[in-house]
């Protein structure tokens, strides 16, 4: 089954816009994990530090659900890694990581939905718990209007390792949409939101039209109960071709990193294996 999107063009409306979650909605998997892997490869932190990210990615991909505390821990852990680094340095690395790890993981079907809104003259924002620097790069490279994301505190162009406010997650997304709507002259009743996660119920409920994309079990149940449209680009042969190998590769990644960490503990004089040798691409 090929992934095809055939749509009616949304009616032009300057007060209408579309909001897309990122992880497993716009891209396959968790953007924070792809960012972490890219930073490991660029010596921002150690391969062993990736283990926690790998386990959270396994849960996300295999179990199909997000853990709010796990997400918060991951963001705080990543912020601690970038503390003391220059913001322009991370921005440049995010550009590289988009090309090497994220561009090929964009869901074509979801991107087509975003393009329909743009073609109708509507603005399109990403709304994600990922660092805003990465979110803005993804939005710009996909030709979207902009992005709302988690903001890391900075002083004199250097990250402090702290958050400005909280995570762009759950209720925070809905609150951010209301602020954006007031600033941009949008009527949220005329807007559309797309997400895969039941954790985004506040955002989905804040707009006139909610669409579940690649939904987790919780959101699928809610969408059916409320009569929301469901789009699943993981089904059929496409899912067998992409989903299963990716899940297996993710599990292998976690095992490879665990083995590398254990080996380093047993033999301190032996350096950990290079990421490209120890970990398969996912």
Question: In whole angstroms, what is the distance from residue 206 CA to residue 248 CA?
Answer: 36
The reply to whether 23 belongs to the active site is yes
Q: Which two tokens stand for residue 266?
A: 């047993």
> Partners of 150 in the beta sheet?
131
| Cα-to-chain-centroid distance, residue 123 | 19
Question: In whole angstroms, what is the distance from residue 27 CA to residue 133 CA?
Answer: 16
DSSP H or E segment with residue 14: none
Q: Which position among 21, 49, 196, 216 bears the catalytic label?
A: 21
Cβ–Cβ under 8 Å, residues 160 and 153: yes
The reply to whether 216 belongs to the active site is no
Per the rule left: phi > 0, alpha: psi between -120 and 50, beta: everything else, 236 is left
Helix (H, G, I), strand (E, B) or coil at 235: coil
Q: Could you give the count of Cα atoms lying within 13 Å of 199 in the half-sphere of its Cβ? A: 23
What residues are annotated to the active site?
A: 21, 23
């Amino acid at each position: 089954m090929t992934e095809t999107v055939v749509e009616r063009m949304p009616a032009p409306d300057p007060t209408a816009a579309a909001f897309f979650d990122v992880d497993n909605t716009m891209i396959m998997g968790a953007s924070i994990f792809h960012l972490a892997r890219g930073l490991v490869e660029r010596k921002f932190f150690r391969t062993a530090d990736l283990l926690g990210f790998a386990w959270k990615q396994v849960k996300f991909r295999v179990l199909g659900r997000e853990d709010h505390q796990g997400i918060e821990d991951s963001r705080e852990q990543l912020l601690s890694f970038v503390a003391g680094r220059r913001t322009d340095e991370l921005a440049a690395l995010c550009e590289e990581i988009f090309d090497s790890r994220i561009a090929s993981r964009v869901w074509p079907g979801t991107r087509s939905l975003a393009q329909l809104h743009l073609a109708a003259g509507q603005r399109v924002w990403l709304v994600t718990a990922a660092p805003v620097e990465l979110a803005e790069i993804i939005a710009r490279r996909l030709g979207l209007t902009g992005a709302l994301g988690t903001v890391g505190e900075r002083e004199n162009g250097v990250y402090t390792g702290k958050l400005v406010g909280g995570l762009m997650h759950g209720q925070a997304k809905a609150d951010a949409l209301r602020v954006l709507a007031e600033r941009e002259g949008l009527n949220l009743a005329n807007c559309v939101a797309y997400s895969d996660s039941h954790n985004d119920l506040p955002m989905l409920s804040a707009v006139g039209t909610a669409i579940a994309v690649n939904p987790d079990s919780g959101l699928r149940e809610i969408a059916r109960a409320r009569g929301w449209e469901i789009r699943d680009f993981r089904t059929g042969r496409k899912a067998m071709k992409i989903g299963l190998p990716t899940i297996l590769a993710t599990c292998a990644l976690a095992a490879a990193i665990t083995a590398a960490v254990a080996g380093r503990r047993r033999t301190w004089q032996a350096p950990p294996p290079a990421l490209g040798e120890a970990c398969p691409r996912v």
